[in-house]
Structure formats: structure tokens, C-alpha cells
Structure 1
Amino acid sequence: MAASSLLTLIDDIATLLDDVATMTKVAARQSAAAADDVAAMTQMAAKKTAGVLGDDLALNAQQVTGVKADRELPVVWAVAKGSLLNKAILVPTALAISAIAPWLITPLLMLGGLFLCFEGAEKLLHALVHSREDAHVRHAELLQAVANEQVDLVAFEKDKIKGAVRTDFILSAEIIVITLGTVAAASFAQQVAVLVGISVVMTVGVYGLVGGIVKLDDAGLYLTQKASPTLQALGRGLLVFAPWLMKALSVLGTAAMFLVGGGILLHGVPALGHAVAHWAQSWAWAESLLNSLAGGLAGLVAGALVVGCVQLIALGRR
């Protein structure tokens, strides 16, 4: 009897262990599927926020120009920490909005898209109004101020950092809102995972690249001082490439504002968005390009209208 009971107990334990193993496999599969879903949503959010990322990269690279070479990376690091703090505030706020008032997501997306279009149009207006000579004069004044020993460089750096962190807050808010719109139908846990993932990836990506960009000219100068003709040629190439890269980033960032902002506006007005999508489908070979161009055109028009309104209000207050 004792032996029979022992065998029965062993059989029950074996059955239990088999059930545990089965449930573990199912849980592992579900976890893997959930991880795949989070990865897919993060990738989708990254694509939708790529335009803002380009603008963020260009703006922050420009923000740290004018700082002494040995202080560029500390300034970039300070702004990166400020960016993480911004996102630590914005992510819980976005999640709270999603939980309490999810209907606000689309209007916030529209406002973010409209602001992107406004920024892009304002940049174009500034480029048209101010000549290259004005830009060279301002750049020369900046270099002279930095070289002047009487200038308080600590205060100068703090002003630079504060300005960059303020700019980052606006762009980070746009990234978070766009991401939230992408994962609005997901579970709360998935929303948290995607928002946190995007925040970390964007911050590391942007400020890692900014750090590399602002040191390109230093790397070029270092290589030109080497004995090897190949390294010297590479260094000279970097010195020529660095300013062109900054200009390209500025142009691409402005274009991305219209493309992303206009695309958000089109999707926020379903009738208009469906009409554009239906029109683009008739040109299947260029559907994606036509959708992007339509978004860019909508963004340009919307941005020009907002800038015009702002200018009229400013004139009315004078």
C-alpha cells in the first residue's frame, strides 16, 4: 500500500511538472509574441517620428555650435540629460492622457503636426528674408564673442544648454504624441514599453550622432596633422564635408517637417486623407512617393497659413 501510494505521488508530481513545462512553453511563446509586437510597434513609431528625429538632430547640432572645441561634448551630454528629463515628464503625461482622455490623442497629433509645419514655414521665411551676408555676420559675431576672454563662458554654455533643452522639449513632445497615436490601440503595458523604448533610442541616437557631428571637424584637423598622406587627405575631406553635412541636415530637417506634419494633418482629416490615398492608388508604381508629396504640399500650405496669421497678429499689436 505504501509503495502504491508512493508511485501515485510520483506520478502526480511528474504530471504536475509536465503541466508546468507546458505552461512555461506557452508563456514563453506568448512573451516572445508580445516582445515581437512591441518591437514591431517601436519600429513603426520610429518610422513615423523619423522626420522629427531629423529635425531634432539638425537643430541640436546647430545649438552647440559656437562652443569651444573642448567643451562641445560636455555641452552635448548636458543637453542629453535634459532630454531624458523631458521624456521622463512627457511619457507619464502621455500615458495619463491615453488612459483618461484618449479622444485628445488625435487633436494633439494635429497640433503637433501643425506646429511642425509652422516651424518649417518659418525657417523658409527666415531663409528668404535674411541674406547670406547676414548669416556670415552673425556667425562672425558669435565666434568673436566666444574668443573674447571677457565673455562669461559658463553663462554662455548655460544659455546654450537651456535653449537646446527647451527646443528638445517641444520636439520630444511631438515624438511622444506621434508614438502614442501609433500604439493607441495597444495594451497599457505595450504602450509603456514602446514609449520608453522610443524615448531611450531617440535620445541615444540623436545625441550620439550630435556628438559625432560636432567633432567631425576636430577629427579632420587631427588627421591632417598625421604623417600619412592618406590620413591627411581623409582629414581634409572631413573638414570640407562637415559644414556641408550641417547644411544638408538643416535642409532635410526642414523638408521632414512638411512631410511629417502634413502627413499627420492629412490623416487627421479622414475625408481628405482617404481622397489623397485613393488618388495615389491609381499610380501604384509611385503610390508611396505621391502620398509623401501630398503630405509635404499640405504641410507647406498649412505652415504658410499659420505663419501668415502669426505675422498679421504681430503687425496688429504694433
Structure 2
Amino acid sequence: MPGGLVALLDDVSIIARSASASVDDIAAAAGRAGSKTAGVVIDDTAVTPSYVTGLSPARELPIIWKITLGSLKNKMLILLPGALILSEFLPAAIVFILMLGGAYLSYEGAEKVMEKLGGAKHGKTVDDEIEDPAAFEKQRISGAVRTDLILSAEIMAITLNEVAAETLITRAGVLAIVGLAVTVGVYGVVGMIVKMDDVGLHLAQKSNAFVRKFGRGLVAFMPWLLTALSLVGTVAMLWVGGGILLHGTHELGWHALYDATHGLEEAVASTSGSLGGILGWLTYAAASALIALVVGAILVFLLHNVFKIGHEEDHAAHEAAH
């Protein structure tokens, strides 16, 4: 009997150590995969505040909360099961999904650049007259959740690509951890960003002169921060989108662009001394962004001028407003 008990305890110990190792494997893999999604996360964080800019301050956090719930549903109920099924039965499709996402990011980034340079704007914005605030808010939330679905799909696909050789359990754990961490991190930061001006206004009413000055400075700083975030988001879209397209074409056997950009990166790195690593990476990022800008501009032209997709939506919105 003691022998049987000892054997049972040994079995429990082995299972416990195995489970512990699995948790460690999941945590380590999640860390590796999470670092690869940094560009998309930056883009997500930078883009989201625009969905509440110009709306009532009282509605900012409720809107962000609804977007957060939509993001969790996207990741946990749609993308995670889909990614696991795909990795089990059709892993070769991952690279094509990544490239579709890269093309979308390139399109979005190029469209933003073209709008900044004086091109036509697409879709209703807070600068337009808003006749039904509730309907406009619902439209904003739906648009944010749709954009989140694309960005989340990229995050999950990048993550899955990093852990493709792991067990099904490890893949599921990594996808869940990365998805949850990214959602909480992104929308937690977004929530703080959009309420910073309210904090500044509150501090500006305090009796302490230094606190009042700090509060006024915070309020004055917020438009600059939101502008900078918009710029960072656009750059991140192009950099990430271009990088995904480069890696995708390389994996599909088209090596010319990939080899050229990495050759340029290595050339800059080897001639820049102690700053070689940073300047080499910046060179590769800039080349990736340029490629994405070209691809995105072609897609913008095709969608808006050939297939008239954007123009039809704008015309419908215009007709509805009148």
C-alpha cells in the first residue's frame, strides 16, 4: 500500500512538473510572439483614440469599453478558434492571410498619407455635421471593431506563425495570452490617453499654482499628442504592412525585394559604426514603409477610382444626410 501511494505521488509529481513546464513553454512562446506583434499593437493604440475624438467626454470611456468588448470577442470567439483550426488542418494558408492583412495595412496607411496630402477623404468624420449622435456613435464603434478585427487577425496570425511548431495546447495558450494582454494593454492605454485632457482640466482648477500650471500644460499638450499618435499610427501601418508583404513574398519564393531591402539594411549597418544596428533597422523599416506606400497607393486607386467602392459609400452617406 505505501508503495502504491508513493507511486501515485510520483505520478502526481511528474504531472505537476510537466504542467509547470507547459506553462513555462507557453509564457516563453507568448513573450517571443508578443514582441513580433509590436508594430501592429502600436498601430492599434495610435489609431483607436481617433474613434472618440470630437465626441462628448462623457461618452469616451463607455465607447472604449464597448470597443474593448468587441475586440475580446474578435480575438477569443472568432480568431483564436479559427487560428487553431487553420494551424491544424491548413498551416500553409497562414502566409496568405498575413499578406492579405499586410495589403490592408498598406492600403489604410497609403490612404491616410494621401488624405494628408490633400486627397479626397472617405467616410463621415467628426468634422461633418452630425444629425443623430447615437447613430454616429454606433457607427464609430462598429468601424472601430471592424478595424480591430483586421489588426487582431494580424496579431493572431503573426503569433501563430511564431509558434507553429509548438503543440496544440501551447498554441492555444499563447494565442489566448497574447490576445488578452494586447487587448487590455491597448485599450487601457487608450482610455488613459483620451481622459488626460479631463485630468488636466481638473488639475487646472486646484488652488496650488504649480498644479494649475501643470494641468493647463497637460490640456495644451493633448492636441499635440493626438497628432503625434496619428502620425505614429500611419508610419506603423506602413512599416508593419510592408514588412509582412516582404516576408510573405520571400516565403512564397519571390526573393528579389526581400533580398534587396535586407542587403540595404546590412550595407547601412556595416558602415555606420556603433549606430549600425539602429540605423540598419531604420533603413529596413523605411524601405518596408516605402514598399507598403506604393502597394497601398495602387490599392487606393483601384478601389476608389476603378471599382468605385469608396465613392459609392461616400455618395450613400451624402444622400442619407440630405
TM bucket by the smaller chain? 0.7 to 0.9
Superposition deviation, residue 22 in structure 1: 3.2
Matches within 5 A, 1:156-305: 156-268=136-248, 269-270=250-251, 271-272=255-256, 273=258, 277=262, 280=265, 283=269, 286-287=276-277, 289-291=279-281, 293-305=283-295
For residues 307 and 66 of structure 2, what CA distance do their matches in structure 1 show?
A: 38
Q: Are the counterparts in 1 of residues 201 and 215 from structure 2 also a CA contact under 8 Å?
A: yes
How many equivalent residue pairs? Answer: 294
Decide which of 52, 57, 76 is 1:69's aligned counterpart.
57
TM-score normalised by length of structure 1: 0.83
CA distance in 1, matches of 2:143, 2:59: 16
Contact 2:66–2:141 at 8 Å: present in 1 too? yes
Give the percent of matched residue pairs that are identical in Structure 1 and Structure 2: 42
**Letter in structure 1 aligned against 2:234:** T
SS in 2 for 1:252: helix
**Closer/same/farther in 2, CA of residues 29 and 292 from structure 1, 3 Å limit:** farther
Closer, same or farther: CA 245–310 of 1 in aligned 2, 3 Å: closer
Larger mean Cα displacement after TM superposition, 196-205 or 258-267: 258-267
Which residue identity does 1:164 align to in structure 2? Answer: A
**Bigger mean CA deviation after superposition, 204-213 or 13-22:** 13-22
Q: Distance in 1 between matches of 2:17 and 2:266?
A: 38
Single out whichever of 258-267 and 79-88 deviates more from structure 2: 258-267
Residue in 2 that maps onto 1:8: none
Q: Does the CA-based 8 Å contact 1:80-1:203 persist in structure 2?
A: yes
- Which string of whole-angstrom CA distances, capped at 9 and with x for unpartnered residues, describes residues 208-254 of structure 1? 11111111101100110011112212211211222222112112122
2:45 and 2:186 in contact (8 A); partners too: yes
Q: CA deviation at 1:188?
A: 0.8
Q: CA deviation at 1:276?
A: 5.0
Residue pair 1:58, 1:253 contacting (<8 A) in 2 also:
yes
Please report the TM-score for the alignment, with normalisation by the length of structure 2: 0.82
Larger helix share, 1 or 2: 1
Q: Report the 3-state secondary structure (helix = DSSP H, G, I; strand = E; otherwise coil) of the residue aligned with 2:45.
A: helix
Which residue does the alignment assign to 1:59? 47
Does residue 112 of the first structure (1) align with residue 115 of the second (2)?
no
Quickly say closer, same or farther: Cα 1:30–1:278, change in 2 above 3 A.
farther
For the aligned residues, what is the CA RMSD?
2.6
Q: CA separation in 1, counterparts of 2:262 and 2:290?
A: 18
Select 1:25's aligned residue among 13, 16, 28: 13
- Unaligned 5+ segments in structure 2 are 309-322
Take 1:278 and 1:316, find their aligned partners in 2: how far apart are those partners?
36
Distance (whole Å) between structure 2 residues aligned to residue 277 and residue 312 of structure 1: 29
Q: Which amino acid aligns with 1:305?
A: V
The whole-number CA distance in structure 1 between the counterparts of 2:279 and 2:4 is: 57
Task: Measure, in 1, the Cα distance between the counterparts of 2:92 and 2:56.
Answer: 47
Counterpart position of 1:129 = 118
The 2-side partners of 1:164 and 1:172 are apart by 12
Unaligned runs of 5+ in 1: 1-12
Partners of 2:305 and 2:113 lie apart in 1 by 19
Which amino acid in structure 2 is aligned with residue 96 of structure 1?
I
Q: Tell me, yes or no, if the aligned pair for 1:261 and 1:295 is still in contact at 8 Å.
A: no
Residue in 1 that maps onto 2:320? none
Change (3 A) 1:20 1:288: farther
Residue 66 of structure 2 is matched in structure 1 by: 78
Q: Is the 8 A contact 2:110 2:300 kept in 1?
A: no
Q: Distance in 2 between matches of 1:312 and 1:74?
A: 37
